[in-house]
Chain A
Amino acid sequence: MIAGAWSLTACGTRHLDDARVTAFIDKADNAARKRFAPGICALRGKTFTAHQTFHAEGNRGEPAELTIDRKLFCSEAGKFSHLEQYVLERKSIEIKLADDLKSADVNAVYTEKLPYYEAPPTTASDYRDVQVLETIDHSRVGIEGGDIVFLSTDADITQTLVPKSDMPLPYD
């Protein structure tokens, strides 16, 4: 029985290819669309780090820089789950596999649309503008315990604000 259990765990991914990485990124994008924090968090490796450079609309100074570890990232994913309106579109994806096929660099471009809350809202509709985030995302993925996971993510995000009357967002 124990040998059987061991053989089951040993059946995980041992090397990466384009199809597996693409399927993994699709899964990650869908987890983001569902905004289910445990699902988002489970796709991040134990030593995952995220760095982002945020160019806010109207900011002519230095962009906001943020570097967080897995624990804080997962906590932020929990806040994300409170959003009732969120649209994520992937514009492009490019995968570069490492020579040993144990990791891959993924460059992707995304557009996200979500409410821009100027203050903590009382209801989910308490916002005037939709923020459109154009994200150039560089991620490294690898294998951990037989599963594909994100090892790190570096995102360059540009924010544009659009009045919500001009860009109605669907609830889901």
Chain B
Amino acid sequence: MRPLAGPAALLVIVVGGVLLKYCSHPEPRPDRNFMAAEMTAGDKDQTGTCYSVDVVLTANFALARGAVKSWTRLDDNRWTYKVEDVQSGPVGPVQAYLAVTLLREGNRVEPVAYETSDKEAPSVEEGVKALLQAPDHFHSTKVDRCRQAAGSH
């Protein structure tokens, strides 16, 4: 039986790997191009912010310890990003959340909805303005369009 032990162990590993690959359900997430696209300011003119979706979300939420972050696919070009947490309120623990829905339009991504658990949720434009404070503060990397513009001055 000993000569069969190695192949048998290999078989178990291969079968286990295949089962894991096809039976597990990884969290949905927009494709790389969506994440790398420039986010607009959520205004009528769709002004560019110079930051990619990935940079804005990372600068704001990468260090949010204990918060649950998730993507919900509405269609190929429309996704909602939600950050949820439980925070201590004045009368006990309360759920706090922020959800921003993003729509890909060409090579840009436009925030089309912005919701929070606050009683008075800000407008989309105000919400995006708040989100831009973190990448500004960290001097995060800007998209090529803005880097080239800055370099040409």
Contacts from A to B (Cβ < 8 Å)? 1-2, 52, 54-56, 59, 61-64, 66-68, 71-72, 75-76, 78-79, 117, 157, 159
Contact = CB atoms under 8 A, between A and B. Distances in A.
A72 B83 CA distance: 10
Nearest to B88: A117
A1 B84 contact: no
B86 interface: yes
Given A1-B8, A72-B86, A66 B94 contact: yes
A75 B68 contact: yes
A79 B92 contact: no
B85 to A, nearest CB: 8
Contacts of B15: 2
Contacts of B84: 68, 72
Contacts of B93: 52, 54, 64, 66
Contact of A72 (B68, B88, B92): B68
B124 interface: no
Contacts of A2: 15
Interface of B: 8, 12, 15, 66-68, 70, 84-86, 88-95
Contacts of A1: 8, 12
A63 B91 contact: yes
A75 B67 contact: yes
Contacts of B68: 71-72, 75
Nearest to B70: A71
Given A1-B12, A71-B68, A71-B70, A76 B92 contact: no
Nearest to B11: A1
B95 A68 contact: yes
Most B-side CB within 10 Å, residue of A54, A55, A62, A63: A54
A25 B92 CA distance: 26
B92 A54 contact: yes
A52 B93 CA distance: 9
A64 B92 contact: yes
Nearest to A119: B88
16 contacts: A2-B15, A54-B92, A56-B92, A63-B91, A64-B92, A64-B93, A64-B94, A66-B86, A68-B86, A68-B95, A71-B68, A72-B84, A72-B95, A76-B66, A117-B88, A157-B92
Nearest to B67: A75
A63 B88 CA distance: 13
Given A1-B8, A66-B86, A72-B86, A79 B66 contact: yes
